[in-house]
A and B are shown apart, each in its own frame.
Chain A
Amino acid sequence: MTSRGIADKVAVVSMGCTKFGERWDSSTDDLLLEAIAECVSAVPGLDRSDIDAYWLGTLGSGQSGLTLSRPLGTGDKPVTRVENYCATGSEAFRNACYAVASGAYDVVMAVGVEKLKDSGFSGLLRADPPSDGTAPELSLTAPAAFSLLDPAYCAKYGVDPAEMRDAMTHVAFKNHTNGARNPKAQFRSQVSKETIENAPKVAGRLGVFDCSGVSDGAACALIVPAEAALSYTDCPMYVKALSLVAGSARGSMDPNYDYTTFPEVVRSARDAYRQAGIEDPNRQLSLAEVHDCFTPTELVLMEDLGFSDDGRAVKDALTGEFDSDGRLPVNPDGGLKSFGHPVGASGLRMLYEAWLQFRGKAGERQIPDARTALTHNLGGRPGGCVSFVSIVGSDLGALTR
């Protein structure tokens, strides 16, 4: 497989992100305009008409480019709507980066949006084509699908279920603690470990606090060729790696798959590290924003992304390795858990935290001298998923922490 990557060819020169949450008073249009306004207004002298093309990611809050071109009035510019499950926002970003790297356009915007709270239902809704009614995902919800990781992980590594529960609780506790310091997060209060553990069960051992927030929101990024970046901002964010893997869903059919890992994540991480020249993510990354859709997911991701040795994630999480003051802060902005998960926006929201951290604008959450970040965005479920990994850095050339 050839995956050359586009390291240092393009840069993010502005971003925008709405507050996530139950935005009862804001429509999809309102959310889009709010994020785009922040992004465009941050670049002195930039006008909307300077943007050559748009990539819009949304899972289900609209169809086609008209979802953006109509409310924004993009002046007949090309708008491509993409969808790739919960990795939709990252997919919009990835394609927008390629459009700039190819030389086709000079200024491209990637936008992600989701308006989830209008449905009146709990959790995510599916929009499946007419079917034979046999697919397990038609009935099994996302928390249930990810809860499959818990008993399988305990069984494989001989982890006491109580210790696993403690680690899941710690992930929720950490991400809520981080989110409490984030003015744009959906949930902004500290949650005690006792509350997390005693919450009503949703699926398997997952309680309400083990699940990401169902949320409305939008986020966007302005992308230009790397050599033009400094004419927009004095602190651009350079794209070092973009990797996407769409799995063959083999795990759902293969008895050798043990539901303790996402092979798709392992492959996309390996690909991204190679593109960016990362040999030791623990040493070379300043922070990671990962797809903590449910607490066991974050634990498994620590191993799949190479942050923990296999079977060690539970211990590493419990000893605070991934806390905001740990060896590698994971989800310093609160993650899907407390920032919320408006699906199409989430991948761009992760990049937004890296953007703020590199500029020293992360407020109470600021990680000293943050220079390199990983974002990881997952769509689907254990057994068959799409996985996206990006590496971004504040400097051109070799990565430094």
Chain B
Amino acid sequence: MHRRRPRIGRDFQWGAGVTKNLIGYGTYLPRYRLSGSDIGLRRGNRVVASFDEDSTTMAVAAAAVAIKGHRDPEHVYFATSSPAYADKTNATAIHAALRLPSASFAVDLGGTGRGAVAAWRMASLTGGLAVAADVRIGRPGSADEKLGGDGAAALLFGDGLCLAEVMGSTSLTEEFLDRWRSPTASTGQQWEERFGAQRYGELIDTAVTRTLDKAGLPNVDHVVLVCPNSAIVKRAATLVKGERSTVTSPVGHSGAADALIGLTATLDTAGAGETILVVSAVDGCDMLLLRTTEALLSARQPEPVIAQRGAGLGVAYLTYLSWRGLVEVEPPRRPEPDRPAAPPSSRAVGWKFGLTGSRCESCGFVHFPPMIVCTECGSIDPMADVPAAGLGGTIATYTVDRLAYSPSPPVVQAVIDVDGGGRCTLEIADTEPDRLTVGARVEFTFRRLFTAGGVADYFWKARLTERVQEEQL
């Protein structure tokens, strides 16, 4: 059978006056780790999202880092292959958790790693946030379980100082079957790996040649190569070699988030004026050639990917399987919670999604959740918003509840005094009960408390600020 040579069309146009600058970025890697010995890895471990995390919550965490210190983005493009909802926009929850103004556009881009490239393209045209997140689930014993990883990354585009300029791009598309998943399945499948590897190899070759030729460069400093085909990932360094580094995603294949996690990890370390070739080979090949600027050096994210990748908490394999619904464990003898109701959730959107309390203008007393009548002085004048998501807090007292219903018992809750005033009682995420003390410092993290009736109960939890590498995994 005759195979057509690829015809290459017009490339996406990047550049001054057309596209916005990359002005911020952020990565979020969940804290839990599956021990390599549980899943057949000779060394190391796998990054796994906690039971209370999904693509939406991880996207919030990455996006919050990317937009810190910047004007609110007016566009949010969210790419994931593991959406929390199929027939409801997930980006709206991200939008609400980031407390963005309602006069903005938030949209999901589904599918694969290509969705993240689409988000990147869109955000660079309109300004705003490109954020990608995925929870990768593999059947027990599968390569996806072993070689995948969960996480999120975000890029912010706007008119500020540019962290990395786009020098060129290439996109190739080809229809072939390498990896697939039915919309109703949680785990995917792959054709014989060698077939996809052959196809991807050709596509990458073509795209690299074309991209470098157009840019007039003989080589690049850094290569970030991601691909759902693990044979390609294994051969990354021989396919395209960076002068300074050639990396794949530091968490393994992370679906829609793969390319952005890889890129943000490189932005953590690349020097000024260095070139980065981003290769995302998914059902074709998307390639972006970037050159970093001086501005990057003072705009790196506070907790680099490598540090996030290193710190971790072990999770027992059986517990992990129950998180993903791959085994069903005996629940506590307690009723399951009711689904959150739509009207009260809508009325309380500032609290539920934005962790925003209220401060009495008369006496200064802070209320979590917001109140109409001041508990301290009785004033009924309108109160000021107190957004707490970015604040810290201190544990006043805490408990471990072994009786309560939870998707992953036990429930750990703490009474938290919020910096600047106010108190609330929240669950503790990523718990290490032994490290809880009265006086311990916490930060806030957007999570999914439970799911009932198909409705995700999104709300904020607290987690210990000081993370130690307590588990040698």
Residues of A within 8 A of B (CB): 119-123, 125, 128, 130-134, 136, 138-141, 143-145, 147-149, 151-152, 155, 201-204, 248-250, 252-255, 257-259, 383
A-B contact pairs, 9 of them (CB 8 A): A130-B343, A131-B338, A132-B352, A133-B449, A139-B405, A139-B427, A140-B413, A204-B401, A253-B424
Tell whether A253 pairs with B397 under 8 Å between CB atoms, given A133-B340, A203-B403, A383-B425. Answer: no
Residue pair B438, A133 in contact (C-beta under 8 Å): no
Complex Cα distance A204/B410, Å?
10
**Closest CB of chain A to B51's CB: distance in Å?**
13
Q: Tell me which of B333, B347, B398 contacts A132 (CB under 8 A).
A: B347
Residue of B341, B344, B401 with most partner-chain A CB within 10 A: B401
Residue pair B424, A143 in contact (C-beta under 8 Å): no
Tell whether A144 pairs with B411 under 8 Å between CB atoms, given A132-B341, A139-B404. Answer: yes
**Closest CB of chain A to B97's CB: distance in Å?**
13
Residues 392-422 of chain B: 1 if any A CB is under 8 Å from the residue's CB, otherwise 0? 0000111111111110000101010100011
Residue pair A204, B399 in contact (C-beta under 8 Å): yes
Residue pair A141, B338 in contact (C-beta under 8 Å): no
**Closest CB of chain B to A364's CB: distance in Å?**
34
Q: Tell me which of B334, B351, B365, B449 contacts A141 (CB under 8 A).
A: B334
Residue pair A131, B341 in contact (C-beta under 8 Å): yes
**Contacting residues, chain A, for B376 (C-beta < 8 A):** 250, 254
**Closest CB of chain A to B85's CB: distance in Å?**
15
Complex Cα distance A82/B158, Å?
60
Residue pair A122, B368 in contact (C-beta under 8 Å): no
Quick check: is B69 within 8 A (CB to CB) of the other chain?
no
Residue pair A254, B375 in contact (C-beta under 8 Å): yes
**Contacting residues, chain A, for B438 (C-beta < 8 A):** 151-152, 155
**Closest CB of chain A to B206's CB: distance in Å?**
51
Complex Cα distance A254/B449, Å?
24
Complex Cα distance A253/B404, Å?
23
Tell whether A141 pairs with B404 under 8 Å between CB atoms, given A123-B334, A133-B345, A148-B415. Answer: yes
Residue of chain A at shortest CB distance from B357: A253
Residue of chain A at shortest CB distance from B341: A130
Tell whether A151 pairs with B398 under 8 Å between CB atoms, given A134-B352, A139-B406, A254-B423. Answer: yes
**Closest CB of chain B to A218's CB: distance in Å?**
24
Q: Tell me which of A122, A143, A202, A259 contacts B396 (CB under 8 A).
A: A259
Residue of B352, B369, B402 with most partner-chain A CB within 10 A: B402
Residue of B397, B422, B423, B459 with most partner-chain A CB within 10 A: B397
Quick check: is B134 within 8 A (CB to CB) of the other chain?
no
**Contacting residues, chain A, for B339 (C-beta < 8 A):** 133
Residue pair B421, A255 in contact (C-beta under 8 Å): yes
Residue pair A203, B375 in contact (C-beta under 8 Å): no
**Closest CB of chain B to A312's CB: distance in Å?**
20
Residue pair A134, B341 in contact (C-beta under 8 Å): no
Complex Cα distance A139/B335, Å?
10
B contact residues, range: 35 or more
**Contacting residues, chain B, for A128 (C-beta < 8 A):** 338
Complex Cα distance A39/B403, Å?
37
Residue pair B368, A253 in contact (C-beta under 8 Å): yes
- Name the prevailing secondary structure of the A interface residues: loop
Complex Cα distance A250/B352, Å?
20
Complex Cα distance A130/B343, Å?
9
Tell whether A134 pairs with B335 under 8 Å between CB atoms, given A250-B375, A253-B422. Answer: no
Complex Cα distance A149/B396, Å?
11
**Closest CB of chain A to B395's CB: distance in Å?**
9
**Closest CB of chain B to A258's CB: distance in Å?**
7
Complex Cα distance A274/B421, Å?
36
Tell whether A136 pairs with B426 under 8 Å between CB atoms, given A123-B334, A130-B341, A203-B401. Answer: yes
Quick check: is B46 within 8 A (CB to CB) of the other chain?
no
**Closest CB of chain A to B416's CB: distance in Å?**
9
Tell whether A141 pairs with B423 under 8 Å between CB atoms, given A132-B345, A132-B351, A133-B352. Answer: no
**Contacting residues, chain A, for B411 (C-beta < 8 A):** 139-140, 144
**Contacting residues, chain A, for B417 (C-beta < 8 A):** 255
Q: Which of B417-462 contact A (CB under 8 A)?
A: 417, 421-427, 438, 449-450, 457, 459
Quick check: is B136 within 8 A (CB to CB) of the other chain?
no
Tell whether A122 pairs with B341 under 8 Å between CB atoms, given A134-B348, A255-B417, A383-B415. Answer: no
**Contacting residues, chain B, for A131 (C-beta < 8 A):** 338, 340-341, 344
**Contacting residues, chain A, for B402 (C-beta < 8 A):** 201-203
Residue of chain A at shortest CB distance from B458: A133
**Contacting residues, chain A, for B375 (C-beta < 8 A):** 248-250, 253-254
Residue pair B403, A122 in contact (C-beta under 8 Å): yes
**Contacting residues, chain A, for B347 (C-beta < 8 A):** 132
Residue pair B401, A255 in contact (C-beta under 8 Å): no
Residue pair B401, A141 in contact (C-beta under 8 Å): yes
Q: Tell me which of B369, B371, B406 contacts A134 (CB under 8 A).
A: B369
Residue pair A123, B399 in contact (C-beta under 8 Å): no
Residue of chain B at shortest CB distance from A133: B340
**Contacting residues, chain A, for B338 (C-beta < 8 A):** 128, 130-131, 133
Complex Cα distance A227/B297, Å?
88
**Contacting residues, chain B, for A134 (C-beta < 8 A):** 348, 351-352, 369, 459
**Contacting residues, chain B, for A253 (C-beta < 8 A):** 366-368, 371, 375, 422-424
Residue pair B403, A258 in contact (C-beta under 8 Å): no
Complex Cα distance A139/B408, Å?
12
Quick check: is B332 within 8 A (CB to CB) of the other chain?
yes
**Contacting residues, chain A, for B459 (C-beta < 8 A):** 133-134
Q: Tell me which of A125, A140, A155, A258 contacts B335 (CB under 8 A).
A: A125
